[in-house]
Structure 1
Amino acid sequence: MKHAIAFFDFDGTITTRDTLFEIIRFQKGRAALYAGMAVLSPLLVLFKLGVISNQRMKEIVLRFFFRNTPVAEFQEQCDKFCRERLPSLLRPKALNAIAWHLAQGHPVYIVTASAENWVEPWSRTLGVPCLGSRLEVTGGRITGLLLGKNCHGDEKVCRIRESIQLTPYNDIYAYGDSSGDREMLALAQHKGFRAFE
């Protein structure tokens, strides 16, 4: 009997859009999101040009919107986001693929650059573990920095290998939608690039 395992990116693969901006909109409001992005727009241009790294840009955005937010308050809003907003952002084809893998008895993991705070409450309802970026917390408050590396590109593979012994699996499935998933897709015999659009 062949043993299989499946890894799913989250933003753009399972969801229709980037949830970082959706979590900001949900917690801070649309006006605050647009005003903040206007302030940050010169830095976003530098990010698009490759001058600012993915991790640094994410930390700039997180610090701008969430620095000094009590983590308990932030998590409560993330849990609420997973219940109230996230369902409308999910791709039915991706959910069907997750359900198929689970029905086959395959372990399934969400591997995402998004913070575990607003992905894991949803993935837990499916019984699916989440490997995501982690937010630094000091004195019970979010600093806006990441704890360790952004779970993107090579770091996705590092997090997978830290968490799972892959040698027992004959078949590895991986699903992603962007260049940040390339290394994870390279692990797999079965690659699903933008498979659910």
Structure 2
Amino acid sequence: MKKDIAFFDFDGTITRKDTMIEFIRFAKGNRAYMIGLAMLSPWLAGMKAGVFSNEFAKEKMLGYFFKGMKLEEFDLLCGLFSEKLLPGLIRPDAMVAIGEHLSKGTEVIVVSASAENWVKQWATRNGLKYLCTKLVCTNGILTGKIDGLNCNGAEKVNRIKQVYDPADYENIYCYGDTSGDKEMLQLANHPFYRVFTQ
């Protein structure tokens, strides 16, 4: 008998805000974050104008704020963020949907462009699996680069298919809220777009 599976985008779907922005504020403080935004404004403006890709701008942000940081320190900050701040960003109705899937034996996976370092701890505590953007670390030090591709758009489907064969599942549920979830939503026979509002 075929099983059911559910894929949830994280930022904006399960959460009310972009968790990378919130994590930077948590880790560096709001003043340092605002200074960083000013320093990064040429690349962020270029991204909005379509000159630079989201992935390029994301690496610029990660590099500015975290390049040279020890992975051990970074993961400690991610754990504190996941424990102290992230619960307040979660949409209650998204958690209800996740709980309903889990109660029926549906496998639930978070598929996110956010770094797995802060998503995995929250996901694991809630009994969920995860497929997220990975960060390059050399000799225990963050380089500010993304390992492989940003887990967004078509890459979400690529990452899913590396682990799961859609043919093995009777019902595939996908939840998303932006164009970066389009390809993942097309994978589902039960797609849900911007259904969580709390």
| Fold conserved between structures, TM > 0.5 | yes
Structure 1 residue 170: Cα displacement: 1.2
Paired residues of 2:71 and 2:140 also in contact (CA < 8 A): yes
Give the 5 Å matches for 1:135-154: 135-154=135-154
Verify: 1:85 aligned to 2:85, yes or no. yes
Paired residues of 2:156 and 2:183 also in contact (CA < 8 A): yes
**Percent same amino acid at aligned positions?**
49
Structure 1 residue 165: Cα displacement: 2.0
Structure 1 residue 2: Cα displacement: 5.6
Verify: 1:12 aligned to 2:12, yes or no. yes
Alignment-derived partner of residue 174 in structure 2: 174
Give the 5 Å matches for 1:22-171: 22-171=22-171
Find the residue that maps to 1:167 and give its secondary structure. Answer: helix
State the one-letter code of the partner of 2:24: I
State the one-letter code of the partner of 1:32: A
Structure 1 residue 130: Cα displacement: 0.8
TM-score (norm 1): 0.98
Find the residue that maps to 2:169 and give its secondary structure. Answer: coil
Structure-2 separation of matches of 1:49 and 1:179 = 16
Find the residue that maps to 1:113 and give its secondary structure. Answer: strand
Aligned length: 197
Paired residues of 2:177 and 2:194 also in contact (CA < 8 A): yes
Find the residue that maps to 1:184 and give its secondary structure. Answer: helix
CA RMSD of aligned residues (A): 0.8
Extract structure 1 runs of 4+ deviating beyond 4 A. Answer: none
Paired residues of 2:2 and 2:168 also in contact (CA < 8 A): no
